[in-house]
Amino acid sequence: MNALVLIPEAPYPIRGGGPVRTASLLEYLRRQYALDLLIFREPGAPDPAAAVPGGLARNISVIDLPHHSRSRAARGWRNLHRFFRGAPPLIDRFSGFEAAIARALQGTRYDLGLVEHFWCAAYGPLLARHCSRVLLDLHNVESVLLERCAAAEPGAARILFRRFARACRRLERDSIPGYSAVLLASDTDAAALARIAPCVRSIVYPNTIPAAPRPRPASTESIVFSGNLGYHPNQTAIRWFAGEIWPKIRERHPGLVWRLVGRNSETVRDALGGDSRIHLIGPVDNALEVLAASRAAVVPLLSGSGTRVKILEAWAAGVPVVTTAIGAEGLPIEHETHALVADAPAAFAAAVSRVLLQPELAQRLSMCGRSLYETHFTWPAAWSRLEAAGL
């Protein structure tokens, strides 16, 4: 049997929640199918085909995205234009490539087609001409994500996100029912999709990370936030934590450092106020080892959908987690067992202090989080869901 996978962001090297989810699916599918990949490439990015592990795919085609400026003014102009057109940003970015995809698929036939991300969902009918069945993998329920971004932002940004959320909701209603089935990260997302497109077959395929040994503890007097710092919900979380929570923690714990780990660190630098006790680490090769060097992982998300790979990585690293309700959403978290959950700034700061000051609590969170990861959130655990679904 053979399969085609359409991927809007390079999955290798595996860095970040999106790539790790895509890579987990590819690793499963390679055991069942001969794989062909269609991968989009940003201007100036390395050839994504070169990073794909040897033997994973039979054929790899690359579709080059046009250049667009990343300056604040250019982004603002693009989003204003998208606002009036009702075209959500990433869906707009990946639109208009029907001819390139059709050329790549000419003369082919597949048992299975898979579209990664809702950003490319409009290409489902095109893939259906070449595939016996086509699945869509939703990393998030995009309209829910955008609605929450709107709720977390003031003024014009709120209006913008609401407009994009409504546009996404219409697109979800129109395009998703055409798929044979949809993969979602959690039961919460499956319930949200059922309200939008009730006739769609949903398969819960949880976010997971590869099985890895627990790093040796090398704790420093620090707390850590990890993720793609260019991702809007992460930026909002960092601004909120820096303005409302970190000053309370900083005062209570004079020797403590806050470490920010992940790519696109330049996008949040201005929000940190030049604080010498906030360290921008940047991207790293081994996230678990870096996380294990901190005494707590903070996940102060105010918006989002799907589930948080950053929490899974903290559990795998044996690091206690403090998060919000949205950060914990979709994961089987028991408060005070697998993580501390707090939404108000004072309560979040107090929860971080408890982890720092109560060794028994920190040890319990560390052990229970690691156990939950080992049982439910490694790639083989997720693959069993696909086997049960007949994929």
pLDDT of residue 167: 95
User: Phi/psi zone of residue 122: left (φ > 0), alpha (ψ -120 to 50 degrees), beta?
Assistant: alpha
pLDDT of residue 346: 97
pLDDT of residue 177: 95
Which parts of the chain have pLDDT scores under 70? none
What's the whole-model pTM score?
0.92
Render pLDDT for 169-218 as a digit per residue (tens, 0 to 9).
999 999 999 999 999 999 999 999 999 999 999 999 999 999 999 998 77
* Cβ contact 8:119 at 8 Å: yes
Q: Which domains does the chain have, with CATH numbers?
A: 2-205 (3.40.50.2000), 222-376 (3.40.50.2000)
